[in-house]
Structure 1
Amino acid sequence: MVRIQLSRVNGDFGFEAKDAFGHIVRMDSTPESGGEDFGVRPMQMLLMGLGGCSGIDIVSILKKQRQTVTGFDMSIEGHREHGKEPSLWTNVHIVFELKGDIDPDKAKKPASSQWTNTALWQPPSAKDTPASPGASPSTEPTPTRPKQQCKHQ
């Protein structure tokens, strides 16, 4: 079981979340909605978690295939529903940039959404395009929520 402790520590919407190992993350709302810019926005943190899980999965898979990953960068762009509260992610686009002695064919499989936690964010109707090193699957999913938890708890 995973346990997170969340406490309001700053203004109306400034929270700190602490995991069982003592790691702390600060979150807040925008100043326009009453926050004080104390920390990251919770919906942005969801994308950060998605990126962290996917990055760990990709590097782990490539290491098992005896590929040498010397650099890894990821860019995540998310678009949310307009005019709804709360608004869900309608589109998440991820670009992976891998460096090292990596066979491009071996990098395609773990970078595709079906092999990483990006699949948790896509409904069955989402369509993937083939991924390659330096590029991610491009999807246009309908609004959705993660269907299961990240295995890197």
Structure 2
Amino acid sequence: MSHIVTTQWKKNVQFESDNPSGHKVLIDLGPENGGKGEGLRPKALMLTALAGCSGVDITPMLEKMKVEIEDFKIVIEGHLTEDTPSYYHTVTVDYHFYGKDLDEKKINRAVNLSVDKYCGVMEMFRRFAEIKVTSHFHNS
């Protein structure tokens, strides 16, 4: 199986990239790098892909486990090397779960299954970065 995306130059350092789903994303750099900041930055887009990949693993698992949550967010911080080209050498992934009487054991199981078994983007990141994962529970 393969994925094909086409990325088209729009202007300056701005590009529009499609996705096998048919949706598009705008990529641009900030003014400090010659762009206008009108799109997503390429390296940060990698972190977005990591969060999305893990999130779409976790929410269906929680549903199957009959675990109810009110809200869920993933905060990722990527630490870049000083070298050129820079890349993420360490990535921290913080999962935040919100709700009443959260079942921490089942939620941790879903997170661990995503991190250790199902999330292909996480596996790609492991090839070049140290990954630090923490779950946070916000009971209301």
Same fold per superposition (TM over 0.5): yes
Map of 2:33 onto structure 1:
33
Residue 47 of structure 1: how far off its partner (Å): 0.3
Tell whether 2:50 aligns with 1:46: no
Aligned residue runs from structure 1 range 1-153, under 5 A: 1-11=2-12, 13-82=13-82, 84-100=83-99, 102-112=102-112, 113-117=115-119, 118-123=122-127, 126=130, 131-134=134-137
Task: Kindly provide the amino acid, as one letter, of the partner of residue 2 in structure 1.
Answer: H
Residue 42 of structure 1: how far off its partner (Å): 0.4
CA–CA separation in structure 2 for the residues paired with 1:47 and 1:10: 24
Higher helix share: 2
Residues 89, 70 of structure 1: CA spacing in aligned structure 2 closer, same or farther, 3 A cutoff? same
Q: How well do the aligned residues superpose, as a CA RMSD in angstroms? A: 2.6
The percent identity for this pair of structures is 27
Q: When the two structures are superposed, what TM-score results if normalisation uses the length of structure 2?
A: 0.79
Give a deviation string over 1:3-52, Cα, whole Å, max 9, x none.
212101122x1000012333110001232222222211100000001001
Greater relative contact order, per chain length (Cα 8 Å cut-off, separation 6+): 2
Q: Which runs of 5+ in 1 are unaligned?
A: 136-153
Q: Which runs of 5+ in 2 are unaligned?
A: none
Q: When the two structures are superposed, what TM-score results if normalisation uses the length of structure 1?
A: 0.73
CA–CA separation in structure 2 for the residues paired with 1:42 and 1:124: 17
SS across alignment from 2:70: strand
Higher strand share: 2
CA–CA separation in structure 1 for the residues paired with 2:4 and 2:129: 33
